[in-house]
């Protein structure tokens, strides 16, 4: 099974997508190409949409580099990676067909240097960050990954019954008074939601993916495998119906919060009865979104730093190194013990 690559049209060296210029560049001869130039040379890939995925053979996961022929091993969900021997892009068009053909993509807008700078800023002030995260060789491993997301549009009709209270206090010469009024409120609302993103790959932690939102969907472009040049890419591996359930929960929660936030001038507000009717619109799409990611193993756990490849918003769950933490405090404690002992000796001498 072979993989595809986009090569420089004039010198055949590797091409990579440059987030700064939004063009494909050749680092060897300096040429740069637009999407139109590449489509002229390599065709449009329009057929990917309608073709069924070809079932892969027993050598599933083994591919040959189009450039040097070396074997490239990848997961069955990986759709783009590199050849470790020659650095060529390896894009598996076979895995981007039919239901796995993304309709849109937000191309990277930030560079690897931006991601490294963000990581350095993130670890600034974190005294006890494990050495694994400060090792420059590990930091170099920050990779740009296109993560599969489904974005949903839906309408939510909400009907809420809310018990609310309003409490007033006053005093006279003899007593302090507290008066609580109880109210039964009823609210109806329709809320329209656009582009609720849900991460479709189990490989990536959902909390991290939620934290680097929002993406600006104005930048969505029609998908072409050429955008994957120079990046890693994954395809979804979860049940699409389950994904909509996640989007639905988010829409309902947001809708409830919005309704409650419009009820002001009450002390407490408790929802006593609720009914939501969610209608999914047909405009939902399978898209690839850009994320810079650094995964580091520490004490048998994987910790992640992630940056939104479009907006630069970043987040991490990097742990503190307990050994470093105790060394630091024992250092301060023993330091102050020495100073105290010195002072005691000094006082005794006087
Ligand atoms: Zn070139
Ligand atoms: Zn190769």
pLDDT tens figures, 201-243: 988 888 899 999 999 999 999 999 999 999 999 999 988 888 9
Same domain, 150 and 293: yes
Same domain, 286 and 332: no
- Ligand that comes closest to the CA of residue 69: 2
Quote the ligand 1 centre to 107 CA distance (angstroms).
22
Query: Is pLDDT above 90 for 162?
Result: yes
Same domain, 228 and 331: no
Quote the ligand 1 centre to 11 CA distance (angstroms).
4
Quote the ligand 1 centre to 7 CA distance (angstroms).
8
Query: Is pLDDT above 50 for 272?
Result: yes
Same domain, 244 and 281: yes
Same domain, 230 and 301: yes
Residue spans of beta strands (DSSP E) within the chain: 15-18, 23-26, 32-33, 62-64, 71-73, 78-82, 89-91, 104-105, 143-171, 176-199, 221-222, 232-234, 268-280, 285-298, 301-308, 314-316
Q: Identify the domain containing residue 209 by its residue range.
A: 146-319
> Which positions ≥6 away from 307 have C-beta within 8 Å?
110, 114, 115, 118, 119, 212, 291, 292, 293, 313, 314, 315
Quote the ligand 2 centre to 2 CA distance (angstroms).
12
In a domain, residue 106? The reply is no
The whole-number pLDDT of residue 58 equals 46
pLDDT confidence bin for 11, thresholds 50/70/90 = very high
- Ligand that comes closest to the CA of residue 64: 2
Same domain, 193 and 268: yes
Same domain, 187 and 153: yes
In a domain, residue 80? The reply is no
Query: Is pLDDT above 80 for 337?
Result: no
Quote the ligand 1 centre to 31 CA distance (angstroms).
5
How many domains is the chain partitioned into structurally?
2
Same domain, 177 and 197: yes
In a domain, residue 167? The reply is yes
In a domain, residue 58? The reply is no
Count of C-beta atoms within a 10 Å radius of residue 304:
17
In a domain, residue 20? The reply is no
The whole-number pLDDT of residue 111 equals 96
Quote the ligand 1 centre to 85 CA distance (angstroms).
19
Same domain, 217 and 329: no
In a domain, residue 284? The reply is yes
pLDDT tens figures, 45-87: 777 777 766 555 445 667 888 788 888 888 888 999 988 888 8
Quote the ligand 2 centre to 329 CA distance (angstroms).
50
Query: Is pLDDT above 50 for 43?
Result: yes
Quote the ligand 2 centre to 82 CA distance (angstroms).
8
Quote the ligand 2 centre to 29 CA distance (angstroms).
19
Quote the ligand 1 centre to 105 CA distance (angstroms).
25
In a domain, residue 32? The reply is no
Q: Which of 55-64, 95-104, 161-170, 205-214 has the lowest mean pLDDT?
A: 55-64
Same domain, 244 and 340: no
Same domain, 218 and 273: yes
- Ligand that comes closest to the CA of residue 70: 2
The number of CA neighbours under 13 Å toward the Cβ of 156 is 26
Quote the ligand 1 centre to 8 CA distance (angstroms).
5
Q: Which of 24-33, 55-64, 257-266 has the lowest mean pLDDT?
A: 55-64
pLDDT confidence bin for 24, thresholds 50/70/90 = very high
The whole-number pLDDT of residue 53 equals 62
Same domain, 315 and 330: no
User: Which residue from 23, 26, 47, 19 is spatially nearest to 35, judged by alpha carbons?
Assistant: 23
In a domain, residue 141? The reply is no
Mean pLDDT of the chain: 88
């Amino acid at each position: 099974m072979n993989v595809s690559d986009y090569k420089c049209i004039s010198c055949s060296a590797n091409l990579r997508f440059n987030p700064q210029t939004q063009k494909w560049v050749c680092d060897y001869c300096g040429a740069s190409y637009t999407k139109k130039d590449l489509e002229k040379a390599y065709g449009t890939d329009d057929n990917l949409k309608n073709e069924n995925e070809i079932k892969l053979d027993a050598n599933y996961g083994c591919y040959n580099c189009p450039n040097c022929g070396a074997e490239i091993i990848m997961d069955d969900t990986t759709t783009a990676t590199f050849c470790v021997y020659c650095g060529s892009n390896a894009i598996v068009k076979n895995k981007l067909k039919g239901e796995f053909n993304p309709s849109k993509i937000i191309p990277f807008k930030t560079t690897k240097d931006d991601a490294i700078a963000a990581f350095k800023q993130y670890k600034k002030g974190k005294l006890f960050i494990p050495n694994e995260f400060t090792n420059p060789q590990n930091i170099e491993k920050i990779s740009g990954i296109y993560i599969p997301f489904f974005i949903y549009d839906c309408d939510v009709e909400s009907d809420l019954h809310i018990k609310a209270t309003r409490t007033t206090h006053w005093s006279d010469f003899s007593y302090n008074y507290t008066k609580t009024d109880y109210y039964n409120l009823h609210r109806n609302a329709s809320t329209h939601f656009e582009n609720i993103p849900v991460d479709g790959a189990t490989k990536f932690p959902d909390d991290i993916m939620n934290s680097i939102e929002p993406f600006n969907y104005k930048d969505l472009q029609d998908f072409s495998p050429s955008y994957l040049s120079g990046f890693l890419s994954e395809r979804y591996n979860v049940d699409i119906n389950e994904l909509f359930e996640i989007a639905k929960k988010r829409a309902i929660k947001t809708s409830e919060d919005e309704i409650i936030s419009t009820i002001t001038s009450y002390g407490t507000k408790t929802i006593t009865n609720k009914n939501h009717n969610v209608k999914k619109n047909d405009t939902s799409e399978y898209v690839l979104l850009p994320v810079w990611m650094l995964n580091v193993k520490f004490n048998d756990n994987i910790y992640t730093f992630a940056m939104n490849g479009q907006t630069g918003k970043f987040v991490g769950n990097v742990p503190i190194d307990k050994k470093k933490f105790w060394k630091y405090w024992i250092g301060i404690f023993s330091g102050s013990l020495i100073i105290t002992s010195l002072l005691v000796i000094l006082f005794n001498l006087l």
